[in-house]
Every structure is written in C-alpha cells, then in structure tokens.
Amino acid sequence: MKEYDLLSLRSFVAVIETGSFYNAAVQLETSSASISRRVSSLEKSLGVRLLNRTTRHLELTTAGEQFWKDVKSILESLEQAEERLNCFQETLSGVIRLSAPLTYGVKKLAPLLPVFMAKYPQITVQLQLEDRLSDLVGEGLDLALRISALNDSSLVCAHLADLPRLFCASPAYLARKGVPASPADLAGHSCLRYSLLSARDEWGFTEGKELPEMNTPLITDNGDVLREAAIQGMGIAMLPWFIVEDALHAGTLVPVMQDHAPSALPLSLIRPTRHYTPVRVTTFMAWLREVLCTSIE
C-alpha cells in the first residue's frame, strides 16, 4: 500500500467538492499552500496525477476522478464508524456548521441554541449569520436555514413553516400621508425597499398589473434597517412578522392594507445531498424542526 495520510485524502476531496484550493483551505481551516502541498504529496505517493491545474481552472484526470469517488466513499465509511462509536458511548460530539439569515438568527435562533448546547455539551455549533445565500458545499456547511424558495435541486430541503409578512408604517407617517387601503393607494407614498427582491416580488402585486408610482427613499438588504426607518416615519415597509412584532406590540408601527397582505415566506432547512448524514447533524435537524415550529405557532 502506498504511504499517505488521512489529512491528504481529506484535503484532496475538499478541493474537488469546493472547487478550489482556497475554498478547501477555508473549509479545513488551513492555508491554500498547505492544501496544495498535501495534494502534491498525495500525487507523489500514488505516482499518478490526480488534477490538471491552471491559474483559473481545476480538472480531475481520469485516474483522479476514480480515486476521488473511491476516497469519498472511504471517508464517509470512516465518518459512519465514528458516529456509531458515538452512539455506542451515548455521547454525540463534533462540529455542526450552520448558516442562517441575520435577523432571524439573532431574534429567533440565538435564544434557542443554548438549550441544545446544554443537552449536547460535546457538540460545537458554528453559526454563520448573513442574508446572502450561502454555498453549502463550497463553504463546508452542514445545514442552512433559508427564508425563500429553494431553486437548487442538488440540495435536500425540509419545509419548516410559513412566515407571514405585512405592510406597516408609523402612526406619524400615516397621519401625515394618509392610510392606504389597497396597492393602488400607494401612489405618492414613500415605500421602503428590500434590495434582494424585485419590487413586484417584494410587494406581492398581482402579475400583469402596473405598479403605482411610488417614492423609494431607502433601499437596503437588511430588514432591521427597513423596520427602523419605518418607525422613524420614512415610509411604508413590507416585512416579515418576526422582524416587526415588537414594534407592532409597542404601537410604533401599525399594519396597513391588511386585506392585501403579501404571501408568506417559506422557512426551510436545507442540507447538501449526501449518502450519509452524521448522527449529530440529524439530531440537530430534528431538534431545530421541533423548537422552531413550536416558536412560530
């Protein structure tokens, strides 16, 4: 048998799955130079070229493709063996890498996580909060919470709940500009926009109808900013309930056009397509489904 170590095999597989030496280095928490040395050492030990490299492109050789499939299966088997030992010892351990939208993560997920951490103290959760759509495979993530429709068919999606949305504004703004009863009444109003959605998708108007002429004094990619701008009387915002519920209870925002409420947003839990998912991840998924669905009801 050729002489090479497990770390070199993991590095090789990470390069293929993430698409670059840099992404593999991020996933394995090392440098690109270290990843490159490990892969080169592996090729030297095997006596065969696994990758064709250019400055902009990586391509598996025929031998490299077969070796990658075999090694990936071996690594999955090793992970299963470790998980079976964990179950035998009645102890779950390891790292779970999770991505979630910024505001939802802070408001809804963060207060719940300590419960899981207390129940499974040997599991480490690496939580990544951001509003962009994370690349699960490229960034080495186990799971992601998403508040949007799933377009990537290579991912496994579990629908958790529907998050209601509403139009809202401050009492001072409505006293100054009037209370719209329908989308047609928005003409002349100031509407605060979420930049990651088109105006039609964001405001939920019927397909084919013209949008009324609206002022847009603020466009941003963060719901917290829109909420605060609405509270300060800058205009009407359309936001998920969980972002504005405190302001609605406090009376600093009030709902408008309730007969024309936009469609709810799907909250989903997604993971990469894999033949095997570690027990610690499936345990965390089951816990998330239970606590998040309960917290929404």
Question: How would you classify the pairing of strands 191-194 and 265-272?
Answer: unpaired
pLDDT (0 to 100) of residue 297: 43
Question: How would you classify the pairing of strands 143-147 and 265-272?
Answer: antiparallel
Domain holding 37: CATH number?
Answer: 1.10.10.10
pLDDT (0 to 100) of residue 207: 47
For 26, the token pair is 């991020």
pLDDT (0 to 100) of residue 171: 97
CA distances from 236 to 100, 170, 231 (A): 26, 8, 9
CB 192 within 8 A of CB 225: no
Q: Residue 93 CB: number of other CB atoms within 10 A?
A: 15
Residue 276 reports pLDDT greater than 70: no
What percentage of the chain has pLDDT greater than the value 90? Answer: 28
> Considering its fold, how many domains does the chain have in total?
3
Could you tell me if residue 81 is inside a domain?
no
pLDDT tens for 242-267 read 999 999 999 999 999 998 888 888 88
- The answer to whether the pTM exceeds 0.85 is no
Stronger pLDDT, 272 or 269, i.e. the higher one = 269
pLDDT tens for 164-175 read 999 999 999 999
Could you tell me if residue 227 is inside a domain?
yes
- 173 and 149 belong to one structural domain: no
CA distances from 97 to 100, 123, 151, 152 (A): 10, 11, 21, 19
Residue 48 belongs to what domain range?
6-75
Residue 240 reports pLDDT greater than 80: yes
- 147 and 284 belong to one structural domain: yes
For 188, the token pair is 């002349």
Lowest mean pLDDT among 17-31, 95-109, 190-204, 248-262: 190-204
Q: Residue 77 CB: number of other CB atoms within 10 A?
A: 11
Q: What does pLDDT average to over the chain?
A: 83
Could you tell me if residue 80 is inside a domain?
no
- 187 and 243 belong to one structural domain: yes
Question: How far apart are alpha carbons 267 and 51 in whole angstroms?
Answer: 39
CA distances from 238 to 112, 169, 192, 205, 234 (A): 26, 9, 8, 12, 13
- 59 and 184 belong to one structural domain: no
Using the 3D structure, point to which of 75, 105, 136 is the last residue of a domain.
75
For 277, the token pair is 């998912």
Could you tell me if residue 85 is inside a domain?
no
Using the 3D structure, point to which of 25, 48, 75 is the last residue of a domain.
75
pLDDT tens for 183-212 read 888 888 999 988 876 555 556 554 445 566
Could you tell me if residue 83 is inside a domain?
no
Could you tell me if residue 272 is inside a domain?
yes
pLDDT band at 133 (very low <50, low <70, confident <90, very high): confident
Orientation angle between helical segments 6-18 and 21-28, nearest 10 degrees: 120
What percentage of the chain has pLDDT greater than the value 70? Answer: 84
Question: How far apart are alpha carbons 72 and 83 in whole angstroms?
Answer: 17
